[in-house]
């Protein structure tokens, strides 16, 4: 009994390992988000570490976090600043409309609230996408918005879980060291099922094309094909098929055709 209790594959210790990993991710995300401007890179790194853990790939949760944080620092920071700026602008507009009273301000408060919902849905997908796929910032935003709408029930459920997590942290501030990790793990589990068509299969190299990348360069294709004619435009010219099996017969036909050609009158 005691041997089973202290085995590594014991459900209790596996659960404790999961809680420990989520605590580490949560803490690293909080620390790396303290400068505020790096919150996007930290969110990308957290999503990458949790995704690798869920897929059974990568190394330790800490190594995966810092690997992604370094690799996606510039693009993740830029993406984070875009969402921080637009989110702050929308929240300020909602607050001002709420303070201004009723009438037309109620309409604008509802209008900005709908836009804020779309903002939150897009942000929910943007950082997990950046964590696993090498795409431009524009493509990430378009892809995130498209996936958010095409998986609307899942998107709303994830937003609800995040909202409940924020409410619990407001009630019990000490939960800030674990609740973000729990909510992120829940969302990443759903994200992996949504991203499954584009994720590489076990043992494969790069992820499958999402349809957002450019077409292959013909110059690259011709470099790899040694049979492709590069310098000689007539390298694949087949004289036999052009002249026929009997060249003498062809010469005779050409001579007859020349004899039948009318003379030039000079006009």
Quote the pTM value. 0.71
* 113 burial level (CB within 10 Å; 0-12, 13-18, 19+): middle
- The confidence score (pLDDT) of residue 17 equals 83
CA–CA dist 101, 98 (Å, integer): 6
- The confidence score (pLDDT) of residue 180 equals 94
pLDDT tens for 11-45 read 766 788 888 999 999 999 999 999 999 999 999 99
pLDDT tens for 54-106 read 888 878 899 999 999 999 999 999 999 999 999 999 999 999 998 887 788 88
What is the chain's mean pLDDT, rounded? 80
pLDDT tens for 95-146 read 999 888 778 888 899 999 999 999 999 999 999 999 999 999 999 999 999 9
CB atoms within 10 A of CB 159: 17
| Helix/strand number for the chain, H first, E second | 12, 0
Task: Check: CB of residue 159 under 8 Å from CB of residue 25.
Answer: no
């Amino acid at each position: 009994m005691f041997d089973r209790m202290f085995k590594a594959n014991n459900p209790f210790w596996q659960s404790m390992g999961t809680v420990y990993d989520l605590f580490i991710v949560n803490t690293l995300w909080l620390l790396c988000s303290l400068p505020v401007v790096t919150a996007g890179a930290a969110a990308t790194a957290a999503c990458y570490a949790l995704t690798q853990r869920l897929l059974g790939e990568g190394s330790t949760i800490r190594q995966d976090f810092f690997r992604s944080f370094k690799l996606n620092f510039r693009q993740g920071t830029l993406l984070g600043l875009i969402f921080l700026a637009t989110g702050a602008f929308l929240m300020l507009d909602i607050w001002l409309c709420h303070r201004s009273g009723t009438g037309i301000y109620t309409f604008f408060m509802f209008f900005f609230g709908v836009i804020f919902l779309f903002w939150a849905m897009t942000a929910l997908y943007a950082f997990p996408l950046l964590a696993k796929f090498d795409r431009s910032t524009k493509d990430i935003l378009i892809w995130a918005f498209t996936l958010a709408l095409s998986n609307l029930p899942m998107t709303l459920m994830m937003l609800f879980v995040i909202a409940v997590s924020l409410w619990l942290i407001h009630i019990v501030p000490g939960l800030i060291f674990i609740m973000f990790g729990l909510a992120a793990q829940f969302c990443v589990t759903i994200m992996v099922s949504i991203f499954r068509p584009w994720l590489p299969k076990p043992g494969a190299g790069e992820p499958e094309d999402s349809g957002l990348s450019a077409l292959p360069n013909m110059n690259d294709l011709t470099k790899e094909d040694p049979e492709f004619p590069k310098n000689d435009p007539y390298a694949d010219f087949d004289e036999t098929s052009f002249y026929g099996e009997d060249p003498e017969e062809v010469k005779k036909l050409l001579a007859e055709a020349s004899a039948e050609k009318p003379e030039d009158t000079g006009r």
